Structure 1
Amino acid sequence: MGTFEVSRRGLFAATGLGLLGTTLLACAPAGSVEPRRPSGSAQPSTDRRMGAEWDSHALTFMSWPTALIWGEDVRFVRDDIANVARAIAEFEPVVMLASPSDVDDAAARCGSAVEIVELPVDDLWARDTAPVFVDGAHGVEGVDFSFNGWGDKQAHPNDALVAQTLLREFEIPRIPAGLVGEGGSLETDGLGTLLVTESSLVNDNRNPGLSRDEIEERLVTLLGMRKVIWFDGVYGEDITDAHIDSLVRFTAPGVVLLDTPGKGSPDDVWSRSSAQARSVLEEATDADGHGFEVIDLPQPDFGEIRGSGDDFLASYVNFFVGNGAVFVPEFGDRRADDRARGILQDHFPDREIVSLDIDTVASGGGGIHCATHDLPGTP
């Protein structure tokens, strides 16, 4: 694949935005696949639409991890993030946000295919700190969900400002959400159906005093949804309070992959959360009244994987759908890794399945999806 050169203004022309700035160098996309839509489906009733991840991306945002958060492991997690960025850049532009003192290191590790933008960050979780992008009446808009360190579990003064700073830098209209939440807590089919966990939104550490109904009403308006499907989730057992993007993901309207326990997994809060999600999906219908096809995406055998630790996230469901490719973690359990790749290939037959070793990222409780945030549009 060859490289191309285009200014930010030109890159974002398809979104209707006027963007000032420097030159982007990235690898040309391998092509995008039109989203699979059921015939006769209606669009969301508001003039906003949060698209599906398989829709075309103008680019992917990522964030460069800092030593303040990762300490002596920072060089290893930076290797993981640089590898992810370079892999995605083979299919679509990647913009890496990096604090001023880390710009040179990010540029050296990521290479010329990734654009480095100087913007103060604390950690790598761009899915949660970047704004949630929606198509509005006049182009792309960014919903700022006021990131607060996943319910003030950690201090993230820079990350708390990433959404509004990024929107100002790229001249994208900002929509204050009036809610606290994260991008990893939202999963949509692009046709007005939203999947969320109660534990990550109906929680006093984020939205004290707001009921589920009140939060749902705001999500519907902010994101252009027609139906919200709630799962219990898990309160207080991980830093995110059980984001949806490690539990249930769409691969097409009406089709979801469900994270399920792997071989030898105990009967614990996570296996029970998976079972509860299955029971919800078996009874639920989407915004068009259609039921769900639920496909199991089992975790690896924890006795066979390379990684370890209480926070290690061994979920293949935390994959990222890019232009022409799907990026999925591999954990060292060869049989489970191969099975996950095969399941994803079945559901994304026109995209390349790219497996990546992200063991250090996973040790921090996240995955490839948590580390990426797509901007809708045409590269």
Structure 2
Amino acid sequence: MTWRMPVEGAPHERTWMTFPRVGETLGRTPAETEGGYAAWAAVANAVAGFEPLSMLVDPSETARARSLLDGAIDLVETPVDEFWMRDSGPTFVLDAERPGALGAVDWIFNGWGAPAWAEWQKSARHGAFVADAVGAELVSSLLVNEGGGIHVDGEGTVLLTETVQLDPRRNPFADRGRVEAEMLRTLGTHHLVWLPRGLTRDYDDFGTNGHVDIVAAIPSPGRLLLHAQPDPAHPDHLVVQQLREVLAGQTDAAGRAFEIVELPAPATLTDEHGPVDWSYVNHYVLNGAVIACGFGDPVADARAASILAEEYPGREVVTVDAREIFARGGGIHCITQQQPALPELPAREAGTGAGA
């Protein structure tokens, strides 16, 4: 097999998401739970305006989902605990040697390192469940990994973080060589760019320990969007300076030095839990559009939308308030997962086939 993960902006067949359910992540008060439901629904309804969307729904939440979601969204019932589809769901890949083949990488999901608070055993089955639902070939992996912990350019480059794939709570016996071999086998990437760490908030109890999709993204081969924190009062000011220095010395799989474009953070620095990790890098690219994170900061939100419009020409940028999602440990990219479209097979040459 020659599996390859396409760049996110390649044509999609559909998007997959998971609808929230009652639990630690959703919130403890009525206001918190309603805020979570509304945020997930807002993203889903925005996505559904541009491409088909399938939503995994716990049977206990089906009625609520139907009341909040666009009627065009396909609801697929299955047991749910965590509802971050990027992480618990499959990573879709294509086979370069078989244009009609769709694969689904089923990473081991253990709730970002099996913290005591996480409920993940049901959603750990979502990779295989979704693969079966779409008729994809299951690409089983023994690596504990999440979709938010990788980002590819579709040409052999993958971004990842030392504190995620090499996290002893995830992969206690892994080293770079083993991870690199698994990335090649499952994603077709042969050039790995390792970041030393992620953003500060991501190392809290409810964090992922450094997911790359809140730090950096590749909008097109050779170009890199990097989170920027211009305020020296925020601890990420130094973090992203260090990350920029690391990335400035890196190349992609084709040997090109990255052209780095900064996405400055909004003005808000803290919430009741400490420094925020609000990041416009955590956007989602889909057919004809970009769903961008909004943070109630008109100046910063508009600036980010303008940068994203330049990086993804020909796509409409739709900003959705992501503060309720970030309050739960992630962003818009974290709750979505693209299923790439299969390449169109060439038309049969005239004069061939039965009856010719």
Would you say same fold, with TM above 0.5? yes
Aligned letter for 1:86? Answer: N
Instruction: Say yes or no: does 1:197 pair with 2:189.
Output: no
Using a 3 Å threshold, how does the CA distance of structure 1 residues 265 and 301 change in structure 2: closer, same or farther?
A: farther
Q: Partner of 2:145 in structure 1? A: 181
Instruction: Say yes or no: does 1:375 pair with 2:328.
Output: no
Instruction: Say yes or no: does 1:257 pair with 2:212.
Output: no
Q: Partner of 1:51 in structure 2? A: 6
Alignment partners' CA distance in 1, 2:308 and 2:233: 22
Q: Post-superposition shift, 1:349?
A: 2.0
Q: Post-superposition shift, 1:308?
A: 5.4
Aligned letter for 1:286? Answer: D
How many residues align? The count is 330
Alignment partners' CA distance in 2, 1:50 and 1:60: 15
Alignment partners' CA distance in 1, 2:274 and 2:131: 35
Three-state SS of the structure 1 residue aligned to 2:263 is strand
Q: Partner of 1:277 in structure 2? A: 243
Using a 3 Å threshold, how does the CA distance of structure 1 residues 100 and 311 change in structure 2: closer, same or farther?
A: farther
Three-state SS of the structure 2 residue aligned to 1:276 is helix
Q: Partner of 1:300 in structure 2? A: 266
Q: Post-superposition shift, 1:170?
A: 2.5
Alignment partners' CA distance in 2, 1:132 and 1:311: 31
Q: Partner of 1:231 in structure 2? A: 195
Alignment partners' CA distance in 1, 2:317 and 2:82: 26
Three-state SS of the structure 1 residue aligned to 2:126 is helix
Q: Partner of 1:106 in structure 2? A: 65
Q: Post-superposition shift, 1:169?
A: 2.6
Contact 2:90 2:105 in 1 (8 A): yes
The superposition leaves residues 230-267 of structure 1 with CA deviations (integer Å, 9 ceiling, x where unpaired) of: 0101484452111000001011100011001144542x
Q: Specify every segment of 5 or more residues in structure 2 that has no aligned partner in the other structure, as ranges.
A: 344-356
Contact 2:108 2:143 in 1 (8 A): yes
Q: Partner of 1:27 in structure 2? A: none
Alignment partners' CA distance in 2, 1:75 and 1:88: 20
Alignment partners' CA distance in 2, 1:202 and 1:76: 34
Of stretches 54-63 and 64-73 in structure 1, the one that deviates more from structure 2 is 64-73
Of stretches 70-79 and 352-361 in structure 1, the one that deviates more from structure 2 is 70-79
Q: Partner of 1:93 in structure 2? A: 52
TM-score (norm 2): 0.88
Contact 1:313 1:367 in 2 (8 A): no
Alignment partners' CA distance in 1, 2:274 and 2:121: 26
Instruction: Say yes or no: does 1:288 pair with 2:251.
Output: no
Using a 3 Å threshold, how does the CA distance of structure 1 residues 343 and 289 change in structure 2: closer, same or farther?
A: same
Contact 2:128 2:138 in 1 (8 A): yes
Structure 1 outlier segments of 4+, above 6 Å: none
Aligned letter for 1:285? Answer: T
Contact 1:86 1:113 in 2 (8 A): no
Q: Which one of 95, 106, 124 corresponds to residue 144 of structure 1?
A: 106
Q: Post-superposition shift, 1:280?
A: 1.8
The superposition leaves residues 271-299 of structure 1 with CA deviations (integer Å, 9 ceiling, x where unpaired) of: 33322221122111111111110011011
Three-state SS of the structure 1 residue aligned to 2:318 is strand
Of stretches 118-127 and 194-203 in structure 1, the one that deviates more from structure 2 is 118-127
Contact 1:311 1:363 in 2 (8 A): no
Using a 3 Å threshold, how does the CA distance of structure 1 residues 76 and 204 change in structure 2: closer, same or farther?
A: same
The superposition leaves residues 37-65 of structure 1 with CA deviations (integer Å, 9 ceiling, x where unpaired) of: xxxxxxxxx72111000000100000011
Contact 2:108 2:141 in 1 (8 A): yes
Alignment partners' CA distance in 2, 1:107 and 1:296: 39
Q: Post-superposition shift, 1:378?
A: 6.0
How well do the aligned residues superpose, as a CA RMSD in angstroms?
Answer: 1.9
The superposition leaves residues 54-99 of structure 1 with CA deviations (integer Å, 9 ceiling, x where unpaired) of: 0001000000111123233222111111111111111000111000
Using a 3 Å threshold, how does the CA distance of structure 1 residues 265 and 159 change in structure 2: closer, same or farther?
A: farther
Three-state SS of the structure 2 residue aligned to 1:133 is strand
The percent of aligned pairs where both chains have the same amino acid is 34
Aligned letter for 2:195? Answer: F
Q: Partner of 2:321 in structure 1? A: 357
TM-score (norm 1): 0.83
Alignment partners' CA distance in 2, 1:281 and 1:173: 34
Contact 1:262 1:301 in 2 (8 A): no
Q: Partner of 1:26 in structure 2? A: none
Aligned letter for 2:11? Answer: S
Three-state SS of the structure 2 residue aligned to 1:294 is strand
Contact 2:57 2:78 in 1 (8 A): yes
Alignment partners' CA distance in 1, 2:218 and 2:314: 16
Q: Partner of 1:36 in structure 2? A: none
Q: Post-superposition shift, 1:330?
A: 1.0
Aligned letter for 1:51? Answer: P
Aligned letter for 2:298? Answer: R
Of stretches 155-164 and 143-152 in structure 1, the one that deviates more from structure 2 is 155-164
Q: Which one of 332, 339, 344 corresponds to residue 296 of structure 2?
A: 332
Aligned letter for 2:216? Answer: V
Of stretches 234-243 and 159-168 in structure 1, the one that deviates more from structure 2 is 234-243
Using a 3 Å threshold, how does the CA distance of structure 1 residues 265 and 355 change in structure 2: closer, same or farther?
A: farther
Alignment partners' CA distance in 2, 1:214 and 1:345: 38
The superposition leaves residues 307-333 of structure 1 with CA deviations (integer Å, 9 ceiling, x where unpaired) of: 654485410000000100001111112
